[in-house]
Structure 1
Amino acid sequence: MDYSNLWRQIFSMKKSLFDQGYLDEQYNQLEELQDDSSPNFVEEVVALFFKDSSRLLTNIEQALEKYPQDFYRLDSLVHQFKGSGSSIGALRMKNECSMFKAHCNDRNLEGCRRSLQKMKREHATLKQKLETYFQLLRQVGPRERAVNSRK
């Protein structure tokens, strides 16, 4: 079967994720760990990330609602979220976490709230884009994917 058209779509989509700043080099390093013995490794790691990060977003939101705000706890939660995002190369999310942490340092509650909304949007957008990307990859199958992913 000729997968050349599908591979063009896959490479184009991946390139746009990098060009638009959604992903950084860490994502490529994650893909390099994938091989024939674990052909769905990246997709599984990303799925775990979204599961854990959704929980963290909820925890951050709850911590923001408590009065008085514990900016140290907020900073710690956002630090965890940022680390998780960094592990898969989620560049935009990582950048927004840095903004949130700066607002924590300034004890700027409204800035924290705005950053949280941006973090949630970036999280949802990246999830949707990566789901589409993985759907395309699934169409070529694990064997073909393992052979061509290093091109």
Structure 2
Amino acid sequence: MLGLDPDRLRADMNRLLALLFHQGVLDEQFLQLQQLQDESSPNFVSEVVNIYFHESEKLLRNLRSLLMDKEFSDYKKLGIHLNQMMGSSSSIGAKRVSNVCVAFRAASEQNNRAGCLRALELLEHEYCYLNNKFHELFQIEQQRELAAGVRYPMHM
């Protein structure tokens, strides 16, 4: 093999997850998601997370597009997108992204465009951080599976 130690890689995964929980990036919902993964669906978590990122990209584009429109006034539509983003983020345990959505929604309910723009910036930042950390986590997991002699395709 490539000299990869599956135990060391598992420890690396656990350290990264511990960091994400300590930082408040993830919550217990992510652990529940992991419990649904088994031999019959070995890529379950990565598939669900990939769907989340695919759908969230669209929602973020929609939010940005709405707020960048000089004639913007549809705060209800903004709220609909935020509710979708908040729900899907909660379902994968993305706690900090969900929390930013709550603040964003509060700004939108007050028709506070400046507050919405600040919240969008923070949301995009948290989203990118989450995306990068999940990518790192799934890379380590793929290396661990290869080191253990199990070969699953990576979907990221």
Q: Same fold (TM over 0.5)?
A: yes
Which residue does the alignment assign to 2:114? 110
Match of 2:101 among 90, 97, 102: 97
Match of 1:9 among 12, 26, 33: 12
1:30-68 deviations in Å (ceiling 9; x for gaps): 000000011111001101110100000001111112314
d(CA) in 2 for partners of 1:6, 1:44: 21
Whether 1:51 aligns to 2:91 is no
Other structure's SS at 2:20 match: helix
Aligned residue pairs total 145
Other structure's SS at 1:38 match: coil
Which residue does the alignment assign to 2:41? 38
Structure 1 or 2: more helix by fraction = 1
d(CA) in 2 for partners of 1:65, 1:2: 49
Other structure's SS at 1:141 match: helix
> What runs of 5+ residues in structure 2 fail to find an aligned partner?
151-156
Which residue does the alignment assign to 1:29? 32
d(CA) in 2 for partners of 1:25, 1:76: 25
> What runs of 5+ residues in structure 1 fail to find an aligned partner?
147-151
Whether 1:74 aligns to 2:78 is yes
Which structure is higher in RCO with an 8 Å CA cutoff and minimum separation 6? 2
1:68-108 deviations in Å (ceiling 9; x for gaps): 42111111111111111111110010000000011011111
d(CA) in 2 for partners of 1:111, 1:86: 22
d(CA) in 1 for partners of 2:129, 2:72: 31
